[in-house]
Amino acid sequence: MNMKTALLFPGQGAQAVGMAADLAAAFPACRALFDRANAVVGYDLAALCFAGPLEKLTLSCHAQPAIFVASLACLTALQQIHPGLVFAAAAGLSSGEWTALHVAGVLSFEDTLRVLEVRGRAMQAACEETPGAMLSLLGMADDALVRLAQQTGVDVANYNSPEQTVLSGSCAGIDHAEKLAREFGAKRAIRLNVAGAFHSAGMASAAGKLEEFLGGVTLAPPQYPVVSNVTGQFHTTPDEIRRLMVRQVTHSVQWVGGVRTLQAQGVQAYVECGPGKVLTGLVKRIDKQAALYNIAGHSDLEAVAALAGPQDEPWHK
């Protein structure tokens, strides 16, 4: 089979105790990623991923680096089993966009870990400084969504699929939006179990801290296309990447636009590397013809063999 294929990487919320443990046990290269990560973060990230506790793993400052390393372990194991696989582009949701940028050679493994630790810590602090909430809405038109957000003083956080969008903001604003959702055409409104108002103005302090830290991080041009959550288009220069990755903390995630950009480039298959199946689930609602694969553990590796074959360029290793 010869299909143009994109890599997908999950963000915070995908964490699960035990993630990538079987891969670290089976592949020395995967275990080495965790050993390198332990040295960078200064604590046993591997033990936290493999054994928890979940409450500690779920903290933003731990979850974001942990999901990054677990996702890379999934990709590394896949490359060990199927070295002939190549990929045409990459995308990640929220913190997962940093994983995609690392894989495309934009920044080093160590720098990505440091960025995600700073980003996660800053977001956790913002949640504590400015309590907030998020609301998932099903079956709502985009224009009605924007009007609801404006009327209740909250932000549109995620355009996840044509059927599902997410609002983010103050607890009072989200309470108000939840009460008005059906009046604005939502089929369902679901309060999300999150620490705060991610991808909203409530994360402004976190964006500022990330911007300051990124000033000292070296970024290179992406060696392969990576989709921006902010624009839904491909990243370009290191300076633009730096600006957009700061904006991403407070800006709507344009996941639908990003998948459509990949479709326009001829992508027909997607491989989600990391815990969970959220991203391929969202892609299925946007591109109903796409071939979808998930690599979360050892048992998933053989299913991707059908994709082996020449495509465009070997993926950066």
Count of domains for the chain: 2
- 95 as an active site residue: the answer is no
254 and 184 in a single domain? The answer is: no
> Tens of pLDDT along the chain (317 residues)?
468 999 999 999 899 999 999 999 999 999 999 999 999 999 999 999 999 999 999 999 999 999 999 999 999 999 999 888 889 999 999 999 999 999 999 999 999 999 999 999 999 999 999 899 999 999 999 899 999 999 999 999 999 999 999 999 999 999 999 999 999 999 999 998 888 899 999 999 999 999 999 999 999 999 999 999 999 999 999 999 999 999 999 999 999 999 999 999 999 999 999 999 999 999 999 999 999 999 999 999 988 876 755 444 443 33
- The two three-digit tokens of residue 75, written as one number: 């990709």
CA-to-CA distance for 222 and 234, rounded, in angstroms? 10
Distance CA 255, CA 52 (A): 30
Domain boundary among 149, 173, 191: 191
Helical (H) or strand (E) element with 145: helix 142-152
**199 assigned to active site:** yes
For 165, the 3-state DSSP assignment is strand
Same domain, 88 and 156: no
Would 314 be classed as within a structural domain?
no
The verdict on residue 157 lying in a domain is: yes
Same domain, 227 and 270: yes
Q: Is the peptide bond before 238 cis (omega within 30 degrees of 0)?
A: no
What pLDDT, on the 0 to 100 scale, is given for residue 309? 52
pLDDT at 312: 42
Kindly state whether residues 160 and 110 are assigned to the same domain.
no
* Whole-prediction pTM: 0.94
DSSP per-residue codes, the chain: ----EEEEE--TT---TTTTHHHHHH-HHHHHHHHHHHHHHSS-HHHHHHH--HHHHTSHHHHHHHHHHHHHHHHHHHHHH-TT---SEEEESTTHHHHHHHHTTSS-HHHHHHHHHHHHHHHHHHHHHS-EEEEEEES--HHHHHHHHHHHT-EEEEE-SSSEEEEEEEHHHHHHHHHHTGGGT-SEEEE---SS-TTSGGGHHHHHHHHHHHTTS-----SS-BB-TTTSSB--SHHHHHHHHHHTTTSPB-HHHHHHHHHHTT--EEEEESSSSHHHHHHHHH-TT-EEEEESSGGGGGGGGGG-S--SSPPP-
Residues 118 and 139 in one domain: no
Clarify whether residues 218 and 259 are in a common domain: yes
Are residues 141 and 231 both part of a single domain? no
Tell me whether residue 135 is in a domain: yes
Classify residue 196: in a domain, yes or no. Answer: no
Q: Quick one: 166 and 210 in the same domain? A: no
Active-site residue, selected from the candidate residues 60, 62, 71, 94: 94
Whether residue 147 is found in the same domain as residue 215: no
Would residue 317 count as lying in a domain? no
176 and 109 within one domain: no
Tell me which residue of 141, 41, 1, 27 sits closest to 80, measured CA to CA.
Answer: 27
Instruction: State whether 208 and 237 are in the same domain.
Output: yes
Residue-level pLDDT at 308: 59
CA distance 68 to 89: 18
CATH number at 174 reads: 3.30.70.250
Task: Give a yes or no: residue 288 inside a domain.
Answer: yes
- Residue 227 lies inside a defined structural domain of this protein: yes
- CB-based contacts of 216-219 (< 8 A; 24+ apart in sequence): 217/107, 217/111, 217/114, 217/115, 218/107, 218/108, 218/111, 219/106, 219/107
CB-CB contact of 149 with 181 (8 Å) = no
pLDDT for the residue 314: 40
State residue 311's pLDDT score: 45
State which residues form the domain around 145: 131-191
Do 147 and 279 fall into the same domain? no
pLDDT at 313: 44
In a domain, 315, yes or no: no
What CATH number is associated with residue 51?
3.40.366.10
Q: Looking at the DSSP assignment, which residues form a beta bridge with residue 5?
A: 269
DSSP string, 286-304: H-TT-EEEEESSGGGGGGG
Question: Which residue is catalytic, options 62, 102, 199, 251?
Answer: 199
- CA atoms of 88 and 107, how far apart (whole Å): 19
